[in-house]
């Protein structure tokens, strides 16, 4: 698992190198990040140098309008899959815990999550991103990796890593802005900047408890065994 150098990208990394039984995830196939709005010419060039052919954007229309991705000139296919059924602001207003937010993503955005996985299967190298690269991206990538057979501890560690990759200046600015709007919110800091390992561990345990496995969750939403087999072939290399 490496952090690719893409100047201006938030929380950008390759998920290659994660253990998966006797194998590991292939490098240079699946990338994850937050928004790309701050990419300058160097960042766009670096993104192009990675050979990315598809970008799966999980943000809603307002987020995209506020922070568009400057990818003109790159030969990439854009796939929009807005995962939240409500606005991002509503989750702060409702003061949801991360556990509740992630369960809602699994339950209410199942069709979108399947679309993300199918996008990964259809074209690589592929980048999956949202605004921060923590929650929507975290859940989508975690379910994808789990369905492909990546070790649980590695999936959790990849999710947890996000917190250390968010710049302190960004955290301070965002938390101050949100705290002014929601002074009594209990879960605000968690929603804005934290990725505790136990939260992802509980989510994957909940999915396994209710569906059997992440792969079975995707099957319940209409994915086929052939699609899941292709996902594993694409993402996992064997010794």
Distance of CA 51 to the CA centre of its chain: 19
Distance between CA 61 and CA 111 in Å, rounded?
18
Burial 33-60 (b: 16+ CB within 10 A, else e): bbbbbebeeebbebbeebebebbbbbbb
Report the percent of the chain where pLDDT is more than 70: 96
C-beta of residue 47 within 8 angstroms of C-beta of residue 75: no
Cα–Cα distance for residue pair 146/167, rounded to 1 Å: 28
**Ramachandran bin of 112, using left for φ above 0, alpha for ψ from -120 to 50, beta for the remaining angles:** alpha
User: Among all chains, which residue has been given the structure tokens 């929650």?
Assistant: 135
Tell whether the model's pLDDT for residue 165 goes beyond 70. yes
Q: How confident is the model over 62-99, as pLDDT tens digits? A: 899 999 999 988 999 999 999 976 666 777 778 889 99
Q: Is the pLDDT of residue 3 over 80?
A: no
The residue among 232 and 192 whose pLDDT is bigger is 232
pLDDT band at 2 (very low <50, low <70, confident <90, very high): low
Residue-wise DSSP of 87-118: -HHHHHHTT--HHHHHHHHHHHSHHHHHHHHH
CB 124 within 8 A of CB 53: yes
- Position 151 scores a pLDDT of 98
| Alpha-carbon gap, residue 125 to 234, rounded angstroms | 10
166/95: higher pLDDT: 166
d(CA 2, CA 16): 7
Predicted TM-score (pTM) of the model is 0.94
Query: What's the Rg (C-alpha) of the chain?
Result: 17
Pick the CATH number of 13-233 from 3.90.190.10, 3.40.50.10580, 3.40.50.150, 3.50.50.60: 3.90.190.10
According to the model, what pLDDT value does residue 197 have? 98
| Structure confidence at residue 178 as a pLDDT band (50, 70, 90) | confident
H/E element, 19: strand 19-20
Tens-digit pLDDT profile for residues 4-56: 679 999 899 999 999 999 999 999 999 999 999 999 999 999 999 999 999 99
3-class state of residue 119 by DSSP: helix
Nearest to 38 by CA among 126, 226, 170: 170
Q: What is the DSSP code (8-state) at residue 186?
A: S
CA nearest neighbour of 128 among 147, 141, 118: 141
Average pLDDT value for the chain: 93
What is the dihedral sign for C-alpha 28, 32, 33, 34? positive
pLDDT surpasses 80 at 239: no
Q: Per-residue pLDDT for 168 more than 80?
A: yes
């Amino acid at each position: 698992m490496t952090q690719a150098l893409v100047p201006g990208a938030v929380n950008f990394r390759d998920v290659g190198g994660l253990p998966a039984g006797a194998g590991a995830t292939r490098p240079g196939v699946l990338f994850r990040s937050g928004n790309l709005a701050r990419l300058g010419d160097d960042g766009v060039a670096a993104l192009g140098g990675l050979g990315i052919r598809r970008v799966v954007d999980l943000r809603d229309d307002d987020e995209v309008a506020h922070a568009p991705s400057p990818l003109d000139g790159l030969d990439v296919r854009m796939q929009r899959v807005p995962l939240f059924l409500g606005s991002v602001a509503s989750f702060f207003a409702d003061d949801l815990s991360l556990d509740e937010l992630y369960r809602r993503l699994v339950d209410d955005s199942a069709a979108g999550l399947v679309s993300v996985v199918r996008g990964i299967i259809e074209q690589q190298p592929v980048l999956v991103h949202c605004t921060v690269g923590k929650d929507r991206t975290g859940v989508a990538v975690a379910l994808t990796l789990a369905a492909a057979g990546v070790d649980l501890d590695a999936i959790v560690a990849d999710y947890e890593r996000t917190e250390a990759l968010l710049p302190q200046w960004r955290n301070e600015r965002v938390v101050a802005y949100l705290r002014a709007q929601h002074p009594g919110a209990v879960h605000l800091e968690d929603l804005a900047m934290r990725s505790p390992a136990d939260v992802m561990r509980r989510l994957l345990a909940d999915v396994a408890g209710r569906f059997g496995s992440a792969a079975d969750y995707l099957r319940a939403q209409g994915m086929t065994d052939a699609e899941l087999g292709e996902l594993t072939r694409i993402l996992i290399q064997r010794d």
